[in-house]
Structure 1
Amino acid sequence: MLYRKWRPKRFSDVVGQPQVTVTLKNELRSGRIAHAYLFTGSRGTGKTTCAKILAKAVNCLNPQDGDPCGECEICKGVENGSIMDIVEIDAASNNGVENIRTLREEAHFTPAAAKYRVYIIDEVHMLSVGAFNALLKTLEEPPAHVIFILATTEVHKIPATILSRCQRFDFHRIPPQEIADRLTYVAEQENAKLDPQAALLIARLADGAMRDALSILDQCFGRSKDVTEQVVAETAGLVGREHLLALADAIKAGDSAAALEIVDRLYRSSKDMARLCEEMSSHFRGMMLIKTMKNAREILAVPETEFVQMEKQALSTPLPVILHAIDTMQETLEKMYRGGDRRTVFEMAMIRLCTPQLDTSAEALLRRIEALEQGAPQRAPAQTKAEKPQTRAEQMPPAQSKLEPQERAENAAKPAEGKKDAEQLQKEAKQLAEWPEILQIIKSFSPAAGAAFTGSTAYISGNYVLIDAPNQLALKFLRQPNQRENIRQAIKQVLGKSYSLGPYRKPEKNEAEEDPLAVLAKKAEAEGIEVIKK
């Protein structure tokens, strides 16, 4: 296996953990060796590997700048397992008091061949309370020839009395680019070809664990020695995920029938409903990251083609819908593990997502309220006898009066059509339902602009977004080039398309409206009713 074949044998070979390796090498060079170490971090980040390197380094007969030489009899004996002074214990299966008592008795014997007797206790958090108590005294005052190295993925489960007696080192998740570089090196040594994008995809799938990345690469080599992004997708099961996009589209459109048809087709093809629920939750998480981050590509472990589809889908889906879907998927997964028919539970979740009216949760209610606010009908303007004379700026199209110089120059080429264009844009304008979401993004760009546009309404007409500014300050922001660019970027992030900007001019009422009594009198005379006038 690649992860065993390419396990680092020196601190300098360890990838992505300089905060650990540099400190340990300095301690070894200076001879300041602690009696107890605690290595903590997520899986596959090098805890056990560094523990074995440290065990060799403290006993090496010819250390080289803090690293074991790898050539002396001690180093070779540790590698082949013939040195009995290096003891590795799995606390998951040896977690009782008797096991620790045996260890304490052995610790008093001097090493047979090495300088130090080293105990590497892996997954130490699995020890029982009694076992921790039995280890405590020995850990506090161990014999001079004994070194303990404890490794764990759940440091919060270790008693504080143990933590205080150890020198702690935290292992971080390895950055994707460093994993990709290491994978490229391994592929070259294995006489194989690894595409850079494929290496990055493996690194994202590994989620910061070098061991997992090497395992995935090993599986890819089983398919082909020329590893491309497509090979990685097929190996990791990332192909055939169109159903996730289809289900998300059905939820956005509120089409519960289409969603249930997709679920039925997947169920008949032996798709596990719990696994489908996890995939849907992960898919909506990806949409959430795309929606809220400037660049989510480095985080999402999906092929480039699928990322493009997810990005298009995310930009056209309101954020409340995405967040509600994530909450619903998480709750559905919990219900599945508590028992019941998994297919029925998942189908109920799909219906609730497609029809928020059937969901009584707070998230669903907020989603419905926002939909009502965005879709509220506007009061029709009153009919007037004569229109107020238009100013020169009002006769120009919105793109000409309030937009960029380039747009003004283009519209100036057709002055005769200016008034007609403006009227046509105003006539065809429809309220932009996503405007509240766009405002939230504008606030992140400029809190002052977000506050100025609070209470505003936007309308979409062709390639223009017309903004009904609530005050003069908002109009001032609308004229500033940098603020206009922020607004256009926010619109593009939500709608997925660039639009020109302009003000929305509401039709104004005629100040000289006819007296209502006079209107009634004229109507009566027309019907032959005598009207007495004083």
Structure 2
Amino acid sequence: MYQVLYRKWRPKAFAEVTGQQHVTKTLLHELQSDRIAHAYLFTGSRGTGKTTCAKILAKAVNCLHPVNGDPCNQCEICTGIDDGSILDVVEIDAASNNGVDNIRDLREEATFTPTAAKYRVYIIDEVHMLSIGAFNALLKTLEEPPAHVLFILATTEVHKLPATILSRCQRFDFKRIAPEDMSKRLHYVAQQEGIDLTEDGAMLISRIADGALRDALSLLDQCAGQGGRVDEKAVTAAAGLAGREHLFILSKAVRTNDVPLALEVVDQLHSASRDMARVCEELINHYRHLMLIRSMEDASRYIVCSSQELDQLKEEASQYTMPAILHALSVLGRVLDHMPSVANRRVEMETALVRLCNPQLDGSNEALVRRMEKLESAMRSGRLTPSTQTSGTAVSHQPEAQKEHLESETVAENNIHQPVEETTAVPTKKKPSQQAVQPVPLTCWPEVLSELSQTAKPLHGVLDGSAAYEAGNRILIDAPNPLAKILINEAEHRDALRQAIQNQTGRRYGLGPYRREENSDQQDPMAALEKKLDALGIPMDKK
């Protein structure tokens, strides 16, 4: 029967273990100096060599003719451990033997001396799966083990182990194997097996395996089974990396605010029976790639894809801004967390894409940053210019399209409402009835802002440091941030502001800008007095 590569080429000596020299070097030194601990703990992600090193260590402590700490792999003990005929080395899967009774049976067996070997070795894989009662039963044996017993615990989730267990073991952390080291091992195995493996194919397999040599050998086995050369194209097809065009179409739809296109892609994927949670994960990974490309000069070593797809990612990333990428990652991350608890995952995915295509529908901080970045970009390009104040007079430099939008504000029912943004450079004269109204500070403005922090976060952010004044049936807004005027002229934010004011005052007000040039004397009594004295020709002592 054919033996798969990861079993056939499992290391039988510490020197053959790839990428874990910090572990193998220490174990060899302990074996050579006869300083063997009674309990070892091997931690790390899957496929990094934990169980392999445990088996090598079990053979090394029992080998009849060790070679510089390594087992000889030829004596009857080594061969017996390899073929499973020696029962003194026991491998236990804690995932299926996690009860207290299983550990009690182990404790009873441990009291007996080995039948053939020097040490009775217990290799407990996935030890974090043991129950609390099982851990407590194991604790006493780990604390005072018989002289002929050696425990080797292996786990991928060391944080789940009790501190009492950790403190009684000698711990070794296995790292993810580097792609370069993995590629060398793959080339060696391919050469021995007569597999035509190219350099680009080996590196792509190494990146896909994500530090797990076992997964890399399994993928190499799968590629070799197709026949022919194992190159980047063959690996791409075998690993299922091809056919991800829908990710680029979705990211383009988000970038161009094309809601119909995004919903059409979701409909096609749903018709093809694609799981929406899996699609969401793929799209998150896609935006992660864009983030990495935007954040560093060479992100190829952190991205698992073919060279052709990498070029596509670079082109897509060049058309994205970082706030837009982070907003997409934030929205998709929240949706993915929420999907297990919803009845219709398709609707959840469609809602997320609609929000990404229309960031004004999302009240998150990431959406606000994305919108502000877009406004700043428009200002830098000259498409939009914020209003500035010179010598106390409001001057507007906005394009005609912006003016038309601002002048389209409607008059609120039973209230006078004027747009926040001024549309002419020359202040207009007010009617005598309007000039008679003296603006007074709105004392409940902090409470209004507090309510906006819950109902309209983007507006609350740009109103930081602002003030408001009551003038008859209008509230005049004095905001230093020019973006505040732009947001207030959007219907949803204007309505939210009016509602917050009404909730605090009990009245329905119109909104307008606070004109410093018309109210400066009332707000600064000293300035008004100086102006009157100057008109009478009386100098004012400012000392």
Query: Structure 1 length normalisation: TM-score?
Result: 0.70
Q: Does 1:378 align with 2:381?
A: no
The equivalent of 1:512 in structure 2 is: none
Query: 2:150 aligns to what SS in structure 1?
Result: strand
Q: How does 1:60-459 map to 2 (within 5 A)?
A: 60-376=63-379, 377-378=384-385
Q: 1:159-197: CA deviations, max 9, x gaps?
A: 111111111100000000111111111111111111111
Query: Is the 1:288–1:322 Cα contact (8 Å) retained in structure 2?
Result: yes
- Which deviates more from structure 2 when the two are superposed, residues 180-189 or residues 46-55? 180-189
The equivalent of 1:6 in structure 2 is: 9
Q: 1:447-477: CA deviations, max 9, x gaps?
A: xxxxxxxxxxxxxxxxxxxxxxxxxxxxxxx
Cα distance between partner residues in 2 of 1:367 and 1:298: 28
Q: 1:380 to 1:216 in 2, by over 3 A?
A: same
Q: How does 1:512-523 map to 2 (within 5 A)?
A: none
Q: 1:225 to 1:76 in 2, by over 3 A?
A: farther
Q: 1:132-179: CA deviations, max 9, x gaps?
A: 111111101111100000001111111111111111100000000111
| Cα offset, 1:58, TM superposition | 0.3
Q: 1:77-132: CA deviations, max 9, x gaps?
A: 00100000000111111111111111111101000000000000111111111111
Opposite residue 356 of structure 2, the aligned amino acid is L
Query: 1:118 aligns to what SS in structure 2?
Result: strand
Opposite residue 215 of structure 1, the aligned amino acid is S
Cα distance between partner residues in 2 of 1:318 and 1:14: 44
Query: 2:335 aligns to what SS in structure 1?
Result: helix
Query: Is the 1:224–1:231 Cα contact (8 Å) retained in structure 2?
Result: no
| Cα offset, 1:380, TM superposition | 11
The equivalent of 1:48 in structure 2 is: 51
Q: 1:405-464: CA deviations, max 9, x gaps?
A: xxxxxxxxxxxxxxxxxxxxxxxxxxxxxxxxxxxxxxxxxxxxxxxxxxxxxxxxxxxx
Cα distance between partner residues in 1 of 2:111 and 2:220: 44
Q: 1:212-259: CA deviations, max 9, x gaps?
A: 111111111121241111111111111111111111111111111111
Cα distance between partner residues in 2 of 1:318 and 1:199: 33
Opposite residue 87 of structure 1, the aligned amino acid is V
Cα distance between partner residues in 1 of 2:237 and 2:273: 19
Cα distance between partner residues in 1 of 2:205 and 2:317: 24
Query: Is the 1:55–1:118 Cα contact (8 Å) retained in structure 2?
Result: yes
Cα distance between partner residues in 1 of 2:121 and 2:11: 19
Opposite residue 354 of structure 1, the aligned amino acid is C
Opposite residue 316 of structure 1, the aligned amino acid is Q
Cα distance between partner residues in 2 of 1:92 and 1:266: 36
Cα distance between partner residues in 2 of 1:210 and 1:24: 21
Cα distance between partner residues in 2 of 1:215 and 1:345: 36
Q: 1:44-95: CA deviations, max 9, x gaps?
A: 1000000000000000000001110000000000010000000011111111
Q: Does 1:20 align with 2:31?
A: no
| Cα offset, 1:370, TM superposition | 1.9
| Cα offset, 1:378, TM superposition | 3.0
Query: 2:154 aligns to what SS in structure 1?
Result: strand
Query: 1:9 aligns to what SS in structure 2?
Result: coil
Query: Is the 1:10–1:67 Cα contact (8 Å) retained in structure 2?
Result: yes
The equivalent of 1:498 in structure 2 is: none
Q: How does 1:482-501 map to 2 (within 5 A)?
A: none
Q: How does 1:454-465 map to 2 (within 5 A)?
A: none
Cα distance between partner residues in 2 of 1:188 and 1:284: 37
Cα distance between partner residues in 1 of 2:322 and 2:227: 41
Opposite residue 162 of structure 2, the aligned amino acid is P
Cα distance between partner residues in 2 of 1:303 and 1:351: 30
Cα distance between partner residues in 1 of 2:206 and 2:74: 33
Query: 1:120 aligns to what SS in structure 2?
Result: strand
Query: 1:83 aligns to what SS in structure 2?
Result: coil
Query: 1:130 aligns to what SS in structure 2?
Result: helix
Opposite residue 132 of structure 1, the aligned amino acid is F
Opposite residue 140 of structure 1, the aligned amino acid is E
Q: 1:385-407: CA deviations, max 9, x gaps?
A: xxxxxxxxxxxxxxxxxxxxxxx
Query: 1:94 aligns to what SS in structure 2?
Result: coil
Query: 2:151 aligns to what SS in structure 1?
Result: strand
Query: 1:193 aligns to what SS in structure 2?
Result: coil
Cα distance between partner residues in 2 of 1:85 and 1:53: 14
| Cα offset, 1:374, TM superposition | 2.2
Opposite residue 141 of structure 1, the aligned amino acid is E
| Cα offset, 1:361, TM superposition | 1.8
- Which deviates more from structure 2 when the two are superposed, residues 27-36 or residues 258-267? 258-267
Cα distance between partner residues in 2 of 1:153 and 1:161: 18
| Cα offset, 1:379, TM superposition | 7.2
Q: Which runs of 5+ in 1 are unaligned?
A: 382-534
